[in-house]
Each structure stands twice: as C-alpha cells, then as structure tokens.
Amino acid sequence: MTTHIVRLVKAGQPLLELGTHTPFVDPSHTYEHTDDEPPRLLAVNKRWVIEGRIFGPDAEETLDAWHQLTGVLEDATNYPDAVELVRDGTVVERISRDAGYEGFKILNLTSPRDPLWQWRGVMPWRIEIVGRRRVGPDVLAVELTEVFNYDDRGLLTRTLTGSVETKAGTSAVEAARQFGLAPPGPDFGFLTRGPDGVNAEKSNQADTKARFTSVLQQLGTAIPAGVSPVFGLAVSVVKADGQTTTTTTVTARGADARAAVERERPAGALLLDQVNVDEGNRTATGVYVSQRNSDNQRRLLRTHSFSSRGGGRPIRYTRRTGGRRPARHVLAYSEVELVETIRVEVQGTPDLDDFELPEPLNLPEDTDARQFSPWPTRAVIGADRDGDRWVMGLRRVYRVEELELAPSGLGRALFEVDAAGSDPAAETAR
C-alpha cells in the first residue's frame, strides 16, 4: 500500500510525522513584488495544501495526537526548520534552506471539529505549507507551473515549466537557472541536460525573455553523480555444475557515464570485463562476468583412460604399370601401442596429494613418449581462491609385442584402488 507522510524536521531529525491518505498534488506559486514602479519581482512562494486524518482508538487519544501536533508548532524554541514530503519512504520534496528556500511557513492547520468524527476516533486535518525563494535583482517577472506524475511503477517525475523576464542588458537564459528543481534525494536525477538541470531558450533577440523546463525523475535506487536517470544495474546469477556464474550488466547515460559503469565492476578476477562507450550520445554499457564455487568447497575430478592401436598385420599396396591394379601385401605383425591418459582438475586451492600419480603399468613403457600436458597449472583465476581452477595432464605410452599381454596390467590399473590412485566408491558418492 502506498503511503504519504508529511514530516516536520529540526536539525535533520524528525520531530513529527503526519500520514495522509491522498497523494501530494501539484503545488501552486504566488509572487512577491516590490513597491517600485515598475514593480520588481522579490520572491516566489511555493504553496502546498495537504489533507489527512488522525486515527485513534477513541476520541480522547485522537485529541491527544492532535494536541501533540499543535504543541510542536506552538513551541518557538523547537520550531521545525524543514518539511519533507515522503512517499513510500522516499523524500519527493524537501522545503528547507538546503533545497534553495529562504524559509517556510505553516500558514494554516485546521480540522473540522465534528463530534461525530472525533467520537469515532478520526480527526481530519488540512495543512497549508509555503516555501519562500528569493530571486535575483535582475528578474522582473516569472511564471512557474509544476506537475507531479507517477508512472505504473510508482516512480515520480516532476516537471517544472516557466518563463522569465529580466532587465535590459541581462540574460534571461542565465536567470532561468535559479528556478530549476533541486533533487530531493540521491535517487532523483535530471532528464533535462542543461546547466543546473534547466533547459532554457531565448524568447527574444535581446535575451531578456526566456522559457525554460526542468525535469526530475525518480529511479528507485541511488543514482551515481553525473548520470541521468537512464541508469540500469542488472545482475544475473546462474548455478550449474557446482559453479555460480554472475553476470552484471550496467548501463548509464550522462557526462560521467563511463565512470559510473566502471564503479560497478565487481571485485576479484573476471571471466569477462567489457565496457562499451558512445561519447557522442554520452552513453556507456558494461558487462562483467565472474565465476566461483557454488558451495565454496574444494572439488577434485580425476579422469583415467586408456586407448590402444596396432597389434595386427598392416596392409600395404605396390603400384604396377600397364593399367593394372596395385598389388596387395600383408606385412608382419606390428607392436601394440597402449596410451594411458590421466587428467586432474581441482576447483579451489589444491593440495599436493591431488596431483599424486598412480604407478605405471607393469608393461614396457616408452619413456621418451611420456608427456605432461600441462604441468599443474592454474587455468582459471576466479573471483576468489575458491573460484580458481587448476589442471594437470599426463600421457604415458606402452609398447608390447601383442595385445594379449596388455589386459593383465590394464585390469590392475582399472580395478585396483591403490594402483589407480583414486577411490571409486568415494568418486561415485561425490
């Protein structure tokens, strides 16, 4: 359920909060002028009228809540110095000196003293708040219109349009900047990209009249400095085969779009670190991919395989002349080549025992053909040590006279736990 609150603040600390059942409506503006001829604009007063209700279990407690409110406003020693309009926990308007207001007043606080309402424990209230903003001495006249719009996500867009007139010899475009909206919080950014968030254009050649627009949009999360509300941060997490792959996609638009994208780069080593920048449109996109163990536990995978070739009588052919077909020859028996391949993969920090190799088979080994491919090597640098992946590979070649001599040695390597250097039961359970 959407909530709307009027918060009275003193020295940055809340004094009192009033809940309202109605959304904040568009504020109105009035203008103060001097008594000179022609009159000169002195200040702009921005006015909000907000209605709400005080609820209590009975008439007595409802009146106590009302007296608490009036007591805060009647205490001259602790009078609030700011007012915040809060929607769903987000400040959408702040009336304070920090927001450019010279001061504010609570002009009216009224409640219809209807006994029927009070007996039911409900007291309606209506509050009128005015914030005063002083203008520069060169401004002769100004007209302002501000509109609050909420989209289907509940995010606010504030649009201020207006016109300004200044003295001869001064710039109305420059003067228009003092009337721009002020972001009420870090989750608001300007859609208008002019100086101070104000897009202004001259209405006459002398630049004494101008029209301007200032638009603030709420993103729903804190917006980096120097970036418009066109800022996105999406995180995709995929868990598969004991690995957690995290993909972070960042998009930004604005003068500091690239810096905003690079600030979101995850710590640690990345499988992919890609940043695309369009200087012409002031946009940037970053894609970062990292991988780590899903359960942060070390994993060991050892594969042991064999292949063989030879052991038979090779066939060769001799070419013949005269258009005759080649002559076939069956040669003598060749030796049997038996290849043993061992591969070890360790996810996380390896132990020395992980790379312990089984003894060679009880067969003649061609040691000149023995190959480590690779030696123990860190093949992937993860986001942390648990994400590192180490590999090692070994290839042994045995040569025997006939295939019948191989199965005994091969069988011991496959089925004897000590000889194979692994535990089939443990591997199955894992």
CATH value at residue 73: 2.40.30
Q: Phi first, then psi: what are they for 46, rounded to 5°?
A: -105, 130
Does residue 307 sit in the same domain as residue 383?
yes
> What is the domain extent for residue 326?
299-429
Cα dihedral 114, 118, 122, 123 sign: positive
The answer on 423 and 406 residing in a single domain is yes
Residues 283 and 249 in one domain: yes
- Tally of domains within the chain: 4
C-beta separation of 142 from 163 below 8 A = yes
pLDDT tens readout for residues 154-194: 788 889 999 999 988 999 999 998 888 888 888 888 888 88
Q: How does pLDDT run across 54-64, given as a tens digit for each residue? A: 777 777 787 78
255 and 151 within one domain? no
Instruction: Examine the domain organization and report whether 306 and 404 are in the same domain.
Output: yes
Q: Are residues 264 and 143 in the same domain?
A: no
Q: Are residues 85 and 191 in the same domain?
A: no
Pick out the chain residues at pLDDT < 50: 415, 417-421, 424-430
Residue 354 token pair: 């992980």
Task: List Cβ neighbours of 146 (8 Å cut-off, separation of 6 or more).
Answer: 26, 27, 29, 46, 158, 159, 160, 181
CA distance 162 to 197: 14
**Judgement on whether residues 144 and 217 belong to the same structural domain of the protein:** yes
pLDDT tens column, 190-248: 888 888 889 999 999 999 999 999 998 888 777 777 777 778 888 898 887 667 788 99
Measured CA to CA, the distance from residue 342 to residue 351 in angstroms comes to 17
Distance CA 406, CA 287 (A): 53
Smallest CA-to-CA distance from 200 within 181, 224, 174, 222 is with 174
Boundary (domain end) residue, out of 223, 255, 279: 223
- Shared domain for 29 and 128, answered yes or no, is yes
The pTM for the full model equals 0.57
321 and 391 within one domain: yes
What's the CA gap between 347 and 80, in Å, rounded?
A: 60
Domain final residue pick, 72, 104, 134: 134
Q: Are residues 2 and 130 in the same domain?
A: yes
Q: Cβ(29)–Cβ(101) under 8 Å?
A: no
pLDDT at position 56, please?
Answer: 75
User: For residues 419 and 241, what is the distance between their CA atoms, to the nearest angstrom?
Assistant: 29
In this structure, are 209 and 286 located in the same domain? no
Helices (H), 248-341: 257-263
Q: What is the pLDDT of residue 429?
A: 43
Residue at which a domain ends, from 251, 278, 293: 293
Closest to 224 (Cα-Cα) out of 274, 276, 270, 183: 183
User: Which residue shows structure tokens 């295939």?
Assistant: 403
